[in-house]
Amino acid sequence: MLIRTILIAGAFALAVVPAQAQSVDKAPPGGAYKKVSELVKLPDFLPGMGTLYVDPKTLPAGPFLAYDHDGRLASTIYMIPVEDIQGQKTFDNLKAAGGNVDHVDMYYNAGHPGVEKPHYHIVLWHVSKADEARVAK
């Protein structure tokens, strides 16, 4: 009886482990991640990026997880204020839970609710250049 209980408990523990090391491949990513459009006034789906999730504690840098219309992870985005780059600020150990990176884009953004200061988007694409079309609009 006791042995069976331990076995069952053990099986539960095993079942719990993968849930904790939860994959962020599919939306919603869970954990501390919140949908950006529910945190600030922004459209649900941002053309060129997708549907964004972020842990509010990590603002403004992120990571932001960006999903396509089917809820598949398209990119991981960091948003770095230009004044922080000019101020030579260090951003250390930013999380990167999204897996394989196909290529990286960096581009300037004038700001938006959530990250008002003009900033750079550093985009780790988890899909090919051609598949960026999935989040184009």
Phi/psi at 53 (5° precision): -125, 145
Q: Please, what is the minimum distance in Å from the beta carbon of residue 67 to other proteins?
A: 15
Q: Does 41 bind other proteins (CB under 8 A)?
A: yes
Cis peptide before 60 (omega within 30 of 0): yes
Two structure tokens written together for 52: 């964004």
Q: Does 117 bind other proteins (CB under 8 A)?
A: yes
Q: Please, what is the minimum distance in Å from the beta carbon of residue 117 to other proteins?
A: 6
Q: Which stretch binds other proteins (CB under 8 A): 10-18, 69-77, 84-92, 105-113?
A: 105-113
Q: Does 16 bind other proteins (CB under 8 A)?
A: no
Q: Which residue has the tokens 């964004």?
A: 52
Two structure tokens written together for 112: 């938006």
Of 31 and 135, the one with the shorter C-beta distance to other proteins is 135
Q: Which amino acid is at 99?
A: G
Two structure tokens written together for 69: 């219309």
CA–CA separation, 123 and 105 (whole Å): 5
Q: Does 116 bind other proteins (CB under 8 A)?
A: yes
Residues that bind other proteins (CB under 8 A): 40-43, 46-49, 107-113, 116-118, 137
